[in-house]
Amino acid sequence: MRTEGQSPTGESPVPPQPKSDVRVKLVESEEEWSACKALRVRVFVQEQGVPLEEEFDEHDASALHAVALADGRVVGTGRLYRLAPGLHQIGRMAVEPGLRRRGIGGRVLEFLEECARRQGASQVILHAQTYVLAFYLRHGYVAEGKPFMEVGIQHVRMAKPLVAGGRVA
Return residues touching ligand COA (CB under 6 A): 43, 93-95, 100-106, 128-129, 131-132, 134-135, 138
Minimum distance from residue 136 beta carbon to ligand COA (Å): 8
Nearer to ligand COA, 101 or 146 (CB): 101
Minimum distance from residue 21 beta carbon to ligand COA (Å): 13
Q: Measure the CA–CA gap between 79 and 71, rounded to whole angstroms.
A: 21
In the beta sheet, which residues pair with residue 125?
A: 89, 159
HSE-CB for 121 with a 13 A CA cutoff: 28
Minimum distance from residue 100 beta carbon to ligand COA (Å): 3
Number of H helices, E strands in the chain: 5, 7
Nearer to ligand COA, 11 or 96 (CB): 96
Closest-approach residue to ligand COA (CB): 105
Nearer to ligand COA, 11 or 42 (CB): 42
Helix ranges, the chain (H): 30-40, 52-55, 59-62, 104-118, 133-137
